[in-house]
Amino acid sequence: MEVQSLRDSIADWFCTKDSVNWGKAALYRILNLIIDADTDKSGISIARLAYTLARMEPKFSQDSRAIEQYGNMRNCIFKHAVTETGRKMLVTAIQMAVYMTREKEDKDE
């Protein structure tokens, strides 16, 4: 998966005004864990990432779309997070998605 398609998927999962959306705060949490994984040789950041992704699961949702979207998001992020090149792609895609979806008030800062 190339960076642009990864960016578009991330923007859909975290940065849209959709009812099935985890928000930018969760995205920043994931970004920090991925960045920490590069400096952390013990693997605890990857474990924390897995825990964070598991906590985002829509456990009580009856919406099959939400459950499917969560599964796609979790698999994609974790697949990229376990390798160094995947983490670099993921960090780039997350940063691009955040900057591309900034709202007008955010740009003035």
Over residues 20-74, the pLDDT tens digits come to: 567 788 889 999 999 998 888 788 989 999 999 998 888 777 778 888 888 999 9
**Considering the entire predicted model, what is its pTM?**
0.80
Structural element, H or E, at residue 74: helix 64-81
Residue type, 85: T
Q: What is the spatial distance between Cα 81 and Cα 49, in angstroms, rounded to a whole number? A: 9
Percent helix, strand and coil across the chain, each to the nearest 5: 75, 0, 25
User: For residue 19, what pLDDT is reported?
Assistant: 56
Half-sphere exposure of 76 (CA within 13 A, CB side): 22
By residue count, the chain amounts to 109
The residues, any chain, with a CB within 8 Å of residue 92's CB and separated by 6 or more, are: 3, 7
Over residues 77-100, the pLDDT tens digits come to: 999 999 999 999 999 999 998 888
